[in-house]
Amino acid sequence: MAATQKSASAFRTIGELSEELGVAQHILRYWETRFPQLRPLQRAGNRRYYRPEDVALVKRINLLLNRDGYTVKGVQKLLSSAGSSAPPPTLPPRAEPPTPHGRPIPVHELRAIRDRLSKALAADDVAARI
């Protein structure tokens, strides 16, 4: 039975959770060593079963690391400062990358640069075929 067909209260295997999040199983095992709050049940043969609260924690860790750009150490601090009963902290806005001019480049300028590069590469590709 696929993970998407399970109820929200069902336990997940490491394979199901890995597939659902698009995160390799060895990464999930690594997170278990780094985040003491993440302790899935382990049955015979060390088979892991993630409870709904484990799944929620893994999803939060994944978002903080892979979407919001936190480091493992930063996520550890967030999770330890939040405590089990405290609401999750609000995330600070992501900082714009520094630019040589000291100001962020607007998205429309980045798109224009991308389009010019794409056209230049396409023209080079055509010229190389001739």
> Same domain, yes or no, for 79 and 31?
yes
Band of pLDDT at residue 3, cut at 50, 70 and 90: very low
> Same domain, yes or no, for 50 and 76?
yes
Q: Which domain holds residue 111?
A: 96-130
Q: Say whether pLDDT at 1 is over 70.
A: no
Q: What is the pTM of this model?
A: 0.59
Show the CA angle centred on residue 68, arms to residues 26 and 87, nearest 5°.
95
> Same domain, yes or no, for 88 and 126?
no
Q: Say whether pLDDT at 39 is over 60.
A: yes
Band of pLDDT at residue 15, cut at 50, 70 and 90: very high
> Same domain, yes or no, for 102 and 128?
yes
The number of distinct structural domains making up the chain is 2
- Encode pLDDT of 87-98 as tens digits: 555 555 555 555
117 CB-side CA count, 13 A: 6
> Same domain, yes or no, for 119 and 67?
no
Average pLDDT of 95-118? Answer: 76
Closest to 58 in 3D by CA, of 73, 42, 75:
75
Q: Distance between CA atoms of 5 and 23, rounded to whole angstroms? A: 19
Q: Say whether pLDDT at 71 is over 50.
A: yes
> Same domain, yes or no, for 28 and 58?
yes
Torsion of CA 121, 67, 23, 49, to 10 degrees: -170
> Same domain, yes or no, for 74 and 110?
no
